[in-house]
Amino acid sequence: KPKNLAFAVYNDQVPASKDLNRTSNGHTKGLIVFDEQTGVWIVHSVPRFPEQLHSGQYVFPENARENGQSILCVTFPTSQLETIANHLRLQYPNIYDSYAPEEMLSSHPALSLLLENKFIRTPPWVLMAPLKDIKKNAFLSFAKHGRLDKDVYADVVASSLETSLLASTWRNGPGGRLPAECDQQFTVTNVDGIRFPLGRTNQSLTFSNTEDHSKWAISMQGSKGYVCIGSLNRMKSQFRRGGETLCFRSPVIYKLLYRTVMSVDDCPDA
């Protein structure tokens, strides 16, 4: 383990080789790695990933190859680490590998609490904070506690960004699927299917949200250009789970995702 790096790796579906004697309730997957100047925050949807952290080899788990996945990696200055750590503490992540040098623990109390599994137990049950990466690009981080007991996209993200959303999330599992949210000022429409063109050929790859394990949302209006990538699905079972979505504006990524939308579960016409 590099002695000058602080890191934490978390996943609600830990690798098979990691036999944890405790589990946390957060539906959240990712990792943070920081030194005293900069670091990365990776937010992803991949079960049992990463595994062989200290082997020097990159391994993508076989079980994760059957479905679509999303991975967002952002390089932040270490000045943002305390905010990120507190957002993770609200989510109750399953941390299965971690380390931090004493100097960083003493200068970053929220990081210290996170690595000790001392999570946030008092309201507010949702946190929203602006972040800036090392190139000053703006991000907006949303974290929820399980006690929020709401759909983060419809009840928090859409109203905060002041835009209706198209949400593409995993639609399998317990709890039942959430329909399109049509009763609020800013609606949330479920993406049912996506299509990826394959190069310059006329071929494309299509799959439904029961085959796509990724979790992303984009603004309905192209002028807004918001992209959100996170850990939460639009399923009722997610109401009482902690989780995260990280939002930003990117015309390029927005257009790429928007063009993949093939079918939606939309609100009925008024």
Please indicate whether residue 213 is annotated as part of the active site.
yes
Cβ neighbours of residue 129 under 8 Å, at least 6 residues apart? Answer: 83, 87, 140, 141
Strands 6-10 and 95-99 turn out to be antiparallel
255: phi then psi, degrees, rounded to nearest 5: -65, -40
| Spatial separation of the C-alpha atoms in residues 186 and 171, rounded to whole Å | 21
Instruction: Give the DSSP H or E segment for 263.
Output: strand 261-265
Catalytic residue, candidates 27, 44, 145, 213: 213
| Spatial separation of the C-alpha atoms in residues 162 and 220, rounded to whole Å | 11
Please list the active-site residues. 213
